[in-house]
Structures are given as C-alpha cells and as structure tokens.
Amino acid sequence: MTATSMEQIVSLCKRRGFVFQGSEIYGGLKGTYDFGPLGIELKKNIRNAWWRAMVYERDDVEGLECAHLSHPLVWKYSGHEAGFFDLLQDCKKCKARLRADHLVDGKCPNCGSTDLTEPRPFMLMMKTPIGPVDDGTSFAYLRPETAQGTYTHFKDVLDSTSRKLPFGIAQDGKSFRNEITPRNFLFRQREFEQAELQYFVKPGTDEQWWETWKNVRMEWWKAQGIPAEKLRFHLHEKLAHYAKMACDIEYEFPWGFDEIEGIHDRQDFDLGSHTKNQEEFDIQAKVMKNTDSTTKLGYLDIEEKRSYIPFVVETAMGVDRAFVVLMMQAYTEETLPNGETRIVLKLKKHLAPVKAAVIPLKRNNPQIVALAHQIKNDLLKTGVGRIMLEDSGNVGKAYRRHDEIGTPICITVDFESIEQSPATVTLRDRDTMQQERIAVDQLPEYLKKFFL
Ligand code: GAP
C-alpha cells in the first residue's frame, strides 16, 4: 500500500463527518476547523488517552483548567509580549505574506519571486477588547499556550493538594496563535488544542527529568498505534525565549518529519519571572503582603529548610496534530478478493469514535428493530463509549461505513435473532471481517472484555 496522503484524510474527514472547514458557508475562516459528530468523539478519546496516562495512571500529577482569556500582564511577564514573534516577509510581486523561516532559497513559494521585503517581527498572540467600552486600553490576550495559566496557579495547586516536588500539573484546552500561514489542514491552525504538562522539579534535577519525560512521551505515541519508525526525536538548536533545552517528537508526514510534541526544559524562567514581577505589581498597586519573593510562586523544601523557585520540565502535545497523525496512520485501503477496495480506519479500539454499531437487518420489522434498540441500550450501560444504532436498512453499506470510520465491532440483528431462544446476533470484527454468532445476553461481558 502507498503512504496515506493528506488529501485522502481531508476527504474522509469531510465525507464521514469528522472535520469541516470553520465558517464554511461564508467561504471559510482560514486556520479554523470545526469537528463533526465523529471528529468530536475521536478528539475526546485522544484527550482521554492523554489524561489517563498523564493524570490517572500516575501518582504525581494533578489536573487544572484555566480560562482562555488572560490578563495582559501574564503575557508581559511570561516574555511573550516581547518575544513571541515570527518573522514576516511580503512578496512585492504577488503580495503574499510569508513566514521567513519557511522560505526555500529566499523565494516566494507562490510566484517564485525573490523580490521580498525585509523580514519584520509579527506578533503571534491574539488580542480582544474586554468590557463594554472598546477604547483600546481594556483588552485581554487569548492564550497562545496553556502553560502560563498553570504557572499562575502553581501555588494554589501546591497549597490545596499538599504536594511535594517533583509533581506535575496537567492541562488540556484551546490555544490561539495568529499564524502567518496556517496550512496542512489541522497541522497549523490559528485556534487549536494543546495537552500540556508542567512538571515541577528541584533545581539541578531538570536535565534528568527532561530525558525521562522525552522517553515517557515517546512511549505514549507508540501505545496509540504509531510505529517506532515513523517517530523520531529532534533536538532544537534555536530555542524559544523560555527554554534551556528543547526536543520535539516528530512524525513522518507526507512532507517529511515534522513536530507533533515539544519537550522543554523551562528551568525557573516562568515561575521566576512571575514571582519577581508580581512583587513589583503589588508595590505599584499598593498591595501590602507579608511575603518575600520565594514564597510567591516558590516552594518551601522542608527537608532542606529553604525556599526556592522550582524548575519546570514541560511536555506540550498538539491534540489536533495527534488527530491527523492517528488518522493518517490508521487509514488503510485493502483490495478484496472480488477486486473491490475496502477503506478501513484501523484506529486502536480505545480511540475509535464508535465502539459498536447495532444493525437491524430489516428496519421495517418491529421485532428486529425493538431487539436492536434493547441491545444498544444494554451495551450503553457497559460504559465502553458510543454505541450506535445503525438503521440505514442496508447491512453491506453499514459495514462499509463503519469500516471507514473505524468501528471495531458491528452487531447485526437478523431473523434468527428473534426466532431462536436464547437470542443470538452476528458479531463482525472490523479488521478481520470474521463473523461469529454470540448470545445476546453475553454481549455486555464480551464488550467489556474487548474494550476495558
Ligand atoms: N507551551 C509550550 C508550547 O506551546 P509549542 O512547541 O509552541 O510549545 C506545542 O507548541 C505543540 O502545540 C506543538 O508541538 C504542536 O503539536 C502544537 N501546536 C503549536 N502550534 C500549533 C498550531 N498553530 N496549530 C496546531 N497545533 C499547534
């Protein structure tokens, strides 16, 4: 089989209701996408797989969810206001706006001209007016990463959970960046989702933890079904303003290896800066607090009898990039013995948007339909995820549709099901297409074993 192209994924996503262009009926809003009935299920499953591995299966991580809008001072003192830029160049011939670091041989990718303006910094953060009067003075930034919210609440989480170092805070949610050139479907958008962990460690142990987290995260990608040969580490030479060391996990896309997650050693850059600047803010605002800088966003180490600002190792995954990677990896075209092509989305079962489809063979037979409803409701109680009643009335079409959207199990209710006692149904496996008959009362146990 040839490698999956982005066009195949975009087409499947639209055809089957995974992803639609944002504001499509008005020509689309560049860099935004909306998730359809199946897309939202897959996205939830990716989120849940990440949350399970990063929070539930560990004993050293808490969760947090912060607002998308935040005070301008958060982004001033995080260094983003001064340093979160891309270099922009305009093509003087075709007027295209270009990201300087994406140019090959200094040529415009649209028209090939080398007549470009000098590179100039272009702010990536998005601003929005806030409050009833839009006079330019009252505004907030839409967060370009979830991390800063986590830093501002480091002390709240520490105090409310009595954690000891090392420990982490996980956060998943939307981020916004005014990308100069959104491209490659969900890969580079202006509104996207991140799943980030800030892991707080004792200064001096950061390099060791950075190595540990690189490996933990690489294993997570493999556990989602991505083969090792499609993944690699890429060490950064050019670093973001906050990082001492940075390494990307990259996936081999049709255009080559590209970033899907970053693992950063941020040292005490962020907590340190917020601590220092919060003090100045308090002085200016005449807030009298009986605290010194190390108790602001610092940590009191009881054993060492001293306070200090912890260092931070961050893992930052793009949820939408995970979405694309998992779709690309799972997309399979098979040639059947009769020469037909079967498209199958071989997602790992915990990621599949629909876990099982219950298909009544005849949609105008009330007994068959009633049994199918009953099975659907019983299976829902297993808690394995979405169970869908698929009453299109054409079993062949239903199998094709569910192969394409990655449903691991199809359950068909037929005449035998209502005529025999105990009632049985046909169970069809997505990957092997093997069918077996199984008693209806054994289905919930079967599903639990299969999925949980
Ligand atoms: N808090 C650190 C941080 O945000 P980053 O490397 O800028 O680091 C982390 O972003 C991840 O977020 C990237 O590896 C990528 O998967 C995802 N990401 C970044 N910009 C994106 C965009 N414009 N569209 C989609 N995903 C993006």
Distance 182 CA to ligand 1 centre (A): 13
pLDDT in tens, 12-68: 999 999 999 999 999 999 999 999 999 999 999 999 999 999 999 999 999 999 999
Q: How much is the pLDDT for 1?
A: 54
Atom of ligand 1 nearest to the CA of 248: 14
Distance 248 CA to ligand 1 centre (A): 10
pLDDT band for 243, please (50, 70, 90 cuts): confident
Measure Cα distances from 239 to 155, 285, 311, 448 in Å: 27, 34, 17, 46
Q: How much is the pLDDT for 294?
A: 45
Residue with CA closest to ligand 1 atom 18: 318
- Alpha carbon 370 to chain centroid, angstroms: 38
Protein residues with CB under 6 Å of any ligand 1 atom:
145, 147, 177, 179, 188-189, 192, 194, 196, 259-262, 314, 316-318, 320-321
Atom of ligand 1 nearest to the CA of 194: 12
Q: Average pLDDT for residues 206-230, to the nearest whole number? A: 98
Distance 235 CA to ligand 1 centre (A): 16
Atom of ligand 1 nearest to the CA of 187: 25
DSSP state at residue 104: B
Question: In angstroms, rounded to a whole number, what is the distance separating the alpha carbons of residues 59 and 55?
Answer: 7
Atom of ligand 1 nearest to the CA of 182: 23
Q: Average pLDDT for residues 351-362, to the nearest whole number? A: 97
Distance 317 CA to ligand 1 centre (A): 7
Q: Inter-axis angle of helices 6-15 and 319-330, to 10 degrees?
A: 100
The domain ranges of the chain are: 6-70+144-326, 354-451
- Answer whether residue 10 shows pLDDT above 70: yes
pLDDT in tens, 329-343: 999 999 999 999 999
Residue with CA closest to ligand 1 atom 16: 318
Q: How many CB atoms lie within 10 A of CB 129?
A: 13
Superfamily (CATH) of domain 6-70+144-326: Bira Bifunctional Protein; Domain 2 (3.30.930.10)
Question: In angstroms, rounded to a whole number, what is the distance separating the alpha carbons of residues 235 and 319?
Answer: 21
Residue with CA closest to ligand 1 atom 19: 318
Entry pTM: 0.94
Residue with CA closest to ligand 1 atom 2: 316
Q: Average pLDDT for residues 297-322, to the nearest whole number? A: 95
**Which neighbouring-strand residues pair with 21?**
33
Atom of ligand 1 nearest to the CA of 246: 6
Residue with CA closest to ligand 1 atom 14: 261
Mutate to test the pocket of ligand 1, among 184, 259, 312 (most ligand atoms within 8 A of CB): 259
Distance 219 CA to ligand 1 centre (A): 19
Atom of ligand 1 nearest to the CA of 261: 14
For the chain, the distance separating the N- and C-terminal CA atoms, rounded to the nearest angstrom, is 31
Peptide bond before residue 166 is cis, with ω within 30 degrees of 0: yes
Nearest residue to 177 (alpha-carbon basis) of 164, 158, 157, 191: 191
Give the residue carrying structure tokens 């006079």.
135
Distance 120 CA to ligand 1 centre (A): 22
pLDDT band for 426, please (50, 70, 90 cuts): very high
Residue with CA closest to ligand 1 atom 20: 188
Amino acid at position 144, single letter: P
Distance 351 CA to ligand 1 centre (A): 22
Q: How much is the pLDDT for 287?
A: 57
Comparing 285 with 115, which gets the higher pLDDT? 115
Fold annotation for 354-451: Rossmann fold (3.40.50)
